[in-house]
Amino acid sequence: MDAGTWIVESRRLIDQWILDDVAGMGSEKGSVEEAMQYSLTAGGKRVRPQLVLAGGAYVGIEPDRLKPAALAVEYLHTYSLIHDDLPAMDNDDMRRGRPTSHKVFGEATAILAGDALLTEAFVKMAELYDLGFPASGVVKAMGTLAYKAGRQGLVRGQIQDLASERQEISVKALQEIHEKKTGALFEASLTIPAQLVGDDQAAFELGRFGRHFGLAFQMVDDILNVVGDAARLGKATGTDAGLGKATYPRLVGIKTARSLLSEHVREALAGLDPARAGLLDGLLRFAAERTW
Amino acid sequence: MDAGTWIVESRRLIDQWILDDVAGMGSEKGSVEEAMQYSLTAGGKRVRPQLVLAGGAYVGIEPDRLKPAALAVEYLHTYSLIHDDLPAMDNDDMRRGRPTSHKVFGEATAILAGDALLTEAFVKMAELYDLGFPASGVVKAMGTLAYKAGRQGLVRGQIQDLASERQEISVKALQEIHEKKTGALFEASLTIPAQLVGDDQAAFELGRFGRHFGLAFQMVDDILNVVGDAARLGKATGTDAGLGKATYPRLVGIKTARSLLSEHVREALAGLDPARAGLLDGLLRFAAERTW
């Protein structure tokens, strides 16, 4: 199967898993589940759960057995979007063409929906034990997810991002923000399957791949915000410049940004075992060349 | 050792653990760790980590081995306080005699400090595996903590609490709020040690004790808010009535509230193994009779 087909099919599978899982939660009016469901079914690309499945393919785990981990990383990602959009943070009214959570449910419920999604990620992770993975692998994977989501990962990225607005920052500082905000969860998503089966070498290789994939992915986002087609992207372009956000195109120009992107693609692939790198290679090239 | 002495000494131990742990995080100006540290060292009673240690005593685990779990439940509790105090939630300016987190650090950092504390709780829990507990016990304990903190525990309690403000609610609805807001984390704190060593019977007994302890504890809080001494409590009294909050004294009167309290104390103790219930019995009576 080529990467393009795999992306479409795995996304369909992940969307179905999410629909099934939120249906099981119930979502009566005014409940936190209603707000969780709203954001989970807003039509994301599902890149992080796809990375879980692709990391699984690298170490020989069937997709179905990774369902709880795939849900966990998407729930964790969705929590971070809801909190990032809050008035006190980026103050975004729209996300993926729909009003943001706090616009629909109010700030209190949006904060709590984020809290509940973050917590639910660990409920899901614990379920991996029931699917027959060794408990030691599950503990490691849970620890990795928490570490990469927390004060040394995602949370740090967001606090540094907020601090950098309307500031002149260095390329190095920008890279650190992206490493935390995007790279950390990409890395965790890819590492988790290897940790589940206790394959330390693969965990190392996949972690390195994930870090560079995350940076490449974020760079494409930055570039598309300048040169992309708003209709195809499903969101406005030029917004980063308007907000005075530090981005690669702004700091080094489009041309250098593109060459940095190629470098991360090369670096990402360099550490993988070529014999089983096919899907990961395809996914990365697809992401690097996307126009949406 | 009598319960009073144990409470003082265990609190000193837990305070020291927290100080050591936050010192290890670093807390430079403007970092999320600075805000985490501020709220963690604001002088709480440390009831939840004490329950972890007391649950440990019930199943024969030395306090030192439970340090990560004790920190985890206190971090999780502190996250819930920071988020509950936010302007969009209870909008509290003061907590334990000091300005609340968002008053000192701003809303964005306060939200992120809460997120980081919630996540750090699971980083800590994963460390229990390094202390020699079986991985299966650690996974179970982590799953319990996530479940009791999330949409079916703490988060649900907070959303129901917000919905009940300035509403007439039933005693049953109030009890459900308390079961989620207080009972859930009390129950988790007590259950975790038993799950770590795979003692299902003790987990059941301790969970039941924790649920009733939580309800009793919350009832004392409600009663003290009416009849307590503000100076001794370190916070204003009469605030619940001012906010139109549903409380036991408001719904059933002080006298019935006191008799419900006695009932929960009795229920809590009824399910324990008397041979090793000494410390738990002492703690509960101490909490039920406290005036601060």
Mean pLDDT by 10 residues, chain B (292 residues): 94 98 92 97 95 98 98 98 97 92 98 98 98 98 98 97 88 95 97 98 98 95 89 79 85 94 96 96 94 76
Distances (CA, A) of B258 to B61, B182, B206, B247, B284: 34, 18, 23, 12, 15
CA angle B31, B106, B230 (to 5 degrees): 110
Query: Do A180 and A154 meet the contact criterion of CB atoms below 8 Å apart?
Result: yes
Model confidence pLDDT, tens digit, residues B156-190: 999 999 998 878 899 999 999 999 999 999 999 99
Query: A115, B116: Cβ pair inside 8 Å?
Result: no
**Partners of residue A162 in chain B, C-beta under 8 Å:** 108
Say how many domains are in chain B: 1
pLDDT of residue B274: 96
Model confidence pLDDT, tens digit, residues A62-90: 999 999 999 999 999 999 999 999 999 99
Query: Do B188 and B148 meet the contact criterion of CB atoms below 8 Å apart?
Result: yes
Residue A117 pLDDT greater than 90, yes or no: yes
Task: Give the residue from chain B lying closest to A76, CA to CA.
Answer: B119
What type of residue is B185? L
Model confidence pLDDT, tens digit, residues A25-54: 998 898 999 999 999 999 899 999 999 999
pLDDT of residue A165: 83
pLDDT of residue B241: 83
**Partners of residue B36 in chain A, C-beta under 8 Å:** 151
pLDDT of residue A71: 98
Query: Do B253 and B220 meet the contact criterion of CB atoms below 8 Å apart?
Result: no
Q: Which of B22, B76, B152, B155 to probe the A interface (max A CBs under 10 A)?
A: B155
Query: A118, B114: Cβ pair inside 8 Å?
Result: no
Model confidence pLDDT, tens digit, residues B111-131: 999 999 999 999 999 999 999
For residues B117 and B20, give the distance between their C-alpha atoms in angstroms, rounded to a whole number. 16
pLDDT of residue A291: 80
pLDDT of residue B233: 77
Q: How is residue B188 written in tokens?
A: 């988790």
pLDDT of residue B220: 95
Question: How far A232 CA sits from the closest chain B CA (Å)?
Answer: 32
B135-149 and B184-196 are packed helices; what angle lies between their axes, rounded to 10 degrees?
Answer: 170
Query: B109, A150: Cβ pair inside 8 Å?
Result: no
pLDDT of residue A36: 98
Model confidence pLDDT, tens digit, residues A181-201: 999 999 999 999 999 999 999
Query: Do A207 and A190 meet the contact criterion of CB atoms below 8 Å apart?
Result: yes
Domain that holds residue B48: 3-289
Query: A86, B112: Cβ pair inside 8 Å?
Result: no
Residue A166 pLDDT greater than 80, yes or no: no
Q: Which of A71, A123, A140, A177 to probe the B interface (max B CBs under 10 A)?
A: A123
pLDDT of residue B1: 80
Query: Do B288 and B265 meet the contact criterion of CB atoms below 8 Å apart?
Result: yes
For residues B164 and B204, give the distance between their C-alpha atoms in angstroms, rounded to a whole number. 31
pLDDT of residue B4: 93
- Percent share of chain B, pLDDT over 70: 100
Question: How far A4 CA sits from the closest chain B CA (Å)?
Answer: 34
pLDDT of residue B35: 98
In sequence order, which residues have a C-beta less than 8 Å from that of residue B21 and are 6 or more positions away? Answer: B71
For residues A126 and A43, give the distance between their C-alpha atoms in angstroms, rounded to a whole number. 26
Q: How is residue A262 written in tokens?
A: 């190629």
Residue A96 pLDDT greater than 90, yes or no: no
Model confidence pLDDT, tens digit, residues A265-286: 999 999 999 999 999 999 999 9
Predicted ipTM? 0.97
Model confidence pLDDT, tens digit, residues A214-272: 999 999 999 999 988 887 777 778 888 887 788 999 999 999 999 999 999 999 999 99
- Looking at the partner chain, which of A111, A118, A129 has a beta carbon nearest the beta carbon of B139? A129
For residues B43 and B76, give the distance between their C-alpha atoms in angstroms, rounded to a whole number. 15
Q: How far is CA A96 from the centre of its chain?
A: 15
For residues B242 and B236, give the distance between their C-alpha atoms in angstroms, rounded to a whole number. 11
pLDDT of residue B291: 81
Stated length of chain B: 292
Residue with tokens 């915000």: A225
CATH number of A245's domain: 1.10.600.10
Sign of dihedral through CA atoms B266, B269, B274, B277? negative
pLDDT of residue A200: 97
pLDDT of residue A240: 82
Question: How far A149 CA sits from the closest chain B CA (Å)?
Answer: 7
